[in-house]
Amino acid sequence: MTDSLCLAVDAMGGDLGPQATVPASLDILMEDPSVSIAFFGDSVQIQKQINAYQNIRNIDVDRFVIHHCSSSISMSEKPSFSVRNQQKSSMWRALELVSGGEASACVSAGNTGALMAISILELGCLPGISRPAICTKVPTLNNSSLSISGYTYLLDLGANIICSGEQLHQFSLMASQKALVVNGIQYATVGLLNIGTEGTKGRQEIHDAAKLLETDSDLNYIGFIEGDSLLKGVADIAVCDGFTGNIALKTIEGVALLARHYLNQELSRSFLGKFGAFLARSSLKKFYKKIDPVLYNGASLLGLNGVVVKSHGSSGIDGFSCALAVAILEAKEDLPQKIKDKLSKFIF
């Protein structure tokens, strides 16, 4: 291995495993000469994908290494079982490389609960953080007046089903630092996802969080936002508990697939529709790209002493490449340290 930025890749995670994770990683090596890859998983399967890669001769063999692992964590496995019995799995060993300082980030498309649990054990939480949060971006209207054009950061996405007001405040601070590091926004707008914008609506923990956000001069808090406002892009950051966030994210992904299905269905019904689709093929391609969940892939586990990125379990090569790109950016910018610095004034 070289002295470049190293990514620890759980090659066995996700529905496709090495068929997606290995080619995506090799694509990144082709694009970014500053990156090296440490693959964790079944060495036979990984090597098979490496041998089949079309441009493998153009990649220096010193820029990737295979760590054979005798087991992997299934998508249906309970996190508690993984913690007790899977120390030799591809996911665990990839995270060990990060905790040992030999890799700058870990990327996995595997079991989300296990990834979070093992990450906390191996890396630990940043000082002042009670629980990490899962954060990703969702597409929004482009005609927004926001600094972030075309998407909003949404968190938590399932790591914390129930959250206190203090935790929602922490999520806001962490996501604000991500917006600063990734987008260069000094004061990203923050909204609390709620069942209404009125001050009387919502659970007590949301109101507790609102009080904390209102008095925090480091945050640009704009109040409660509703689900439809999330896609309108009225806030750079939308904060909620993991139960709400996960349902919101999966609903958005489903609507994107539904929109594409109905549009293709209507365009294929008649000759004029097919002819119109042919004439508008360039515009349709751009439209599909804007709503494609694959291009928004790569959820950050914010609040850890290290960079960990979760790829969607069903991701193919393009989707996993997006997750790798998120990890590279956060590692190069040392996002965990910048979040730690931001939170230092809240630690007593």
* Residue 108, pLDDT score: 96
Answer yes or no: is pLDDT of 145 > 50. no
Q: How large is the average pLDDT for residues 75-92?
A: 90
Among candidate residues 233, 153, 218, 225, the one with its CA nearest the CA of residue 186: 218
Q: How many angstroms from the chain centroid is the CA of residue 251?
A: 16
Compute the mean pLDDT over every residue in the chain, rounded to the nearest whole number.
88
* Residue 149, pLDDT score: 63
Could you please report the per-residue DSSP string of 73-136? Answer: --TTS-HHHHHHH-TTBHHHHHHHHHHTTS-SEEEE-S-HHHHHHHHHHHH-BPTT-SS-EEEE
Task: Give the CATH superfamily of 131-295.
Answer: Isopropylmalate Dehydrogenase (3.40.718.10)
- What's the pLDDT tens digit per position in 286-326? 776 676 667 778 899 999 999 999 998 888 999 999 999 99
- What's the pLDDT tens digit per position in 53-79? 998 989 999 999 999 999 999 988 898
Query: How many other CB atoms are found less than 10 A from the CB of residue 345?
Result: 9
Question: 74 or 280: whose pLDDT is higher?
Answer: 74
Shared fold status for 1-129+303-335 and 131-295: yes
On whether the CB atoms of residues 13 and 109 are closer than 8 A, the answer is yes
Among candidate residues 186, 167, 177, 129, the one with its CA nearest the CA of residue 243: 167
Kindly indicate the confidence band of residue 347, based on its pLDDT and cuts at 50, 70 and 90.
Answer: low
Q: How large is the average pLDDT for residues 251-279?
A: 79
Question: 257 or 177: whose pLDDT is higher?
Answer: 177
Answer yes or no: is pLDDT of 94 > 60. yes
On whether the CB atoms of residues 312 and 16 are closer than 8 A, the answer is no
Question: 64 or 267: whose pLDDT is higher?
Answer: 64
Phi, psi of 86 (to 5 degrees): -115, 40
On whether the CB atoms of residues 123 and 101 are closer than 8 A, the answer is no
Which residue type, as a one-letter code, is found at position 133?
Answer: A
- What's the pLDDT tens digit per position in 11-58? 999 899 999 999 999 999 999 999 999 999 999 999 999 999 998 989
Q: Is 242 exposed, middle or buried (0-12, 13-18, 19+ CB in 10 A)?
A: buried
Question: 285 or 299: whose pLDDT is higher?
Answer: 299
Query: How many other CB atoms are found less than 10 A from the CB of residue 44?
Result: 10
- DSSP state for residue 60 in the 8-state scheme: -
Question: 115 or 262: whose pLDDT is higher?
Answer: 115
**Using omega within 30 degrees of 0 as the cis cutoff, is the peptide bond preceding 156 cis?**
yes
On whether the CB atoms of residues 309 and 106 are closer than 8 A, the answer is yes
Domain residue extents for the chain? 1-129+303-335, 131-295
Question: What CATH number matches the domain at 1-129+303-335, 3.40.630.10, 3.40.718.10, 3.40.50.360, 3.20.20.140?
Answer: 3.40.718.10
Answer yes or no: is pLDDT of 3 > 60. no
State how far the Cα of 321 lies from the Cα of 21, in Å rounded to an integer.
8
State how far the Cα of 62 lies from the Cα of 1, in Å rounded to an integer.
5
